[in-house]
Structure 1
């Protein structure tokens, strides 16, 4: 059995499209009909997220943590209890491609670290988009870690102790444990997951915060070129993540 986990905190606007894309990936012919089970971790949801999840053929676990690491761990535990041999992770504001699961498995690795692209740049300036693409350009292996496009075998996950109860970067910590364990990690550019560029992050230090840090970096650079004193931008993160 293949498992898919999705943490969700008030995601009524996005979760439906996410789960529809996961369902399509679960029907990929290359999976040979293997069962795919999706578990959504409902973490302090007060909107219609739970109702939307119930309208899809997925399972849900409810957590009261306000913590993405704990949410992912709860969903992973449910999947492992159901017998999942491989667990793929994405985010509620993301959409996975049809070959998402089959391609992860085809790499024949212990873990998979994939890339993301942005669905809609909203009110971000074109320069922010260009900087993001510059930081994510290239071919072959990469050094990025995205919880919206991650996969691993259950054996490795259990060996490394699972997701840490972190409010952010729980995915980075898990992959670091994989590296320490000597796992075979496929760091590939495809399959690529499409995610949102929303400005309000569900987790401090998450992808939304990353995009805003790019914006602040460019604003600081623009201010320096105009000769503004450095102190005026003291609250701006100066280095590109």
Structure 2
């Protein structure tokens, strides 16, 4: 099915140090595709400058919530974005990333390539290695040969056709693992999923994250 609109969803909770870079990287990726796109940033219980930064981008839809729950935030952003665009959900592709991450220039190209033959896309996420201490950097490099990220689901590099998303009920209100849960439900009903390590999203190397048992916790445990 031809994609007529791309909806890019970014949840943020107190991400003033990384949000601008995230949105700038998305702007570069949007400029590299011919399909019209919409960006939605959902600010969940933000108490610092994230709102000011997000509203500084003229073509970004900003949604303010107080869920303190990433699953609800992502779902609200999807609903808000879909309400502003015209194509049928079967012709809308939703791309997800996180506010502490930066997408590569061809990230949306990779999503659209997957959309040509699949219902969802699971991409790779790698940390900013310069932000890791030497022990964790060695551990990460030693445990990630080519192919190691395949099979791992990350909300920072995830895509799905809007009608498939709606068919399974979208993200559930989970504090963590909402991305893994969504992909599991898509697989369970037979939707086709493409996995790729091409054009990985770069995420922060911080060791204390917003979600319990999330990617930051994984990086923290590398030292063990």
Q: Could you say whether these structures have the same fold, taking a TM-score greater than 0.5 normalized by the shorter chain as the test?
A: yes
With over 3 angstroms needed to count, the CA separation of the structure-2 counterparts of 1:134 and 1:156, relative to structure 1, is farther
Q: Which whole-Å deviations, capped at 9, do the CAs of 1:101-122 have from their partners, x for residues lacking one?
A: 1111112221110111222443
Please give the secondary structure, in 2, of the residue aligned with 1:69: helix
Q: Is the 8 A contact 1:97 1:191 kept in 2?
A: yes
Q: Is the 8 A contact 1:140 1:188 kept in 2?
A: no
Q: Distance in 2 between matches of 1:41 and 1:170?
A: 16
- Alpha-carbon RMSD: 1.6
Q: Is the 8 A contact 2:129 2:137 kept in 1?
A: no
Q: Distance in 2 between matches of 1:160 and 1:81?
A: 18
Q: Is the 8 A contact 1:111 1:185 kept in 2?
A: yes
Q: Distance in 2 between matches of 1:163 and 1:192?
A: 22
Gaps of 5+ in 1: 218-241
Please give the secondary structure, in 2, of the residue aligned with 1:87: strand
Matched residue, 2:77 = 75
Q: Distance in 2 between matches of 1:188 and 1:111?
A: 11
With over 3 angstroms needed to count, the CA separation of the structure-2 counterparts of 1:134 and 1:76, relative to structure 1, is farther
Q: Distance in 2 between matches of 1:121 and 1:143?
A: 25
Q: Is the 8 A contact 1:119 1:195 kept in 2?
A: yes
Q: Of the candidates 128, 138, 141, which is equivalent to residue 130 of structure 1?
A: 138
- Residues 193-202 or 165-174, more deviating: 193-202
With over 3 angstroms needed to count, the CA separation of the structure-2 counterparts of 1:134 and 1:114, relative to structure 1, is farther
Please give the secondary structure, in 2, of the residue aligned with 1:25: helix
Q: Is the 8 A contact 2:124 2:149 kept in 1?
A: no
Gaps of 5+ in 2: none
1:44-83 correspondence to structure 2 within 5 Å: 44-56=45-57, 57-83=59-85
Matched residue, 2:187 = 179
Higher relative contact order (CA 8 A, sep 6+): 2
Q: Distance in 2 between matches of 1:136 and 1:146?
A: 16
Matched residue, 1:6 = 10
Q: Distance in 2 between matches of 1:3 and 1:86?
A: 6
Q: Which whole-Å deviations, capped at 9, do the CAs of 1:37-70 have from their partners, x for residues lacking one?
A: 1000100001010000000120111111111111
1:1-241 correspondence to structure 2 within 5 Å: 1-28=5-32, 31-32=33-34, 34-56=35-57, 57-83=59-85, 85-107=92-114, 108=116, 109-122=118-131, 124-139=132-147, 142-215=150-223, 217=224
Matched residue, 1:238 = none
Paired residues, number: 212
Query: What's the TM-score once normalised by structure 2's chain length?
Result: 0.90
Question: How big is the shift at 1:141?
Answer: 8.1
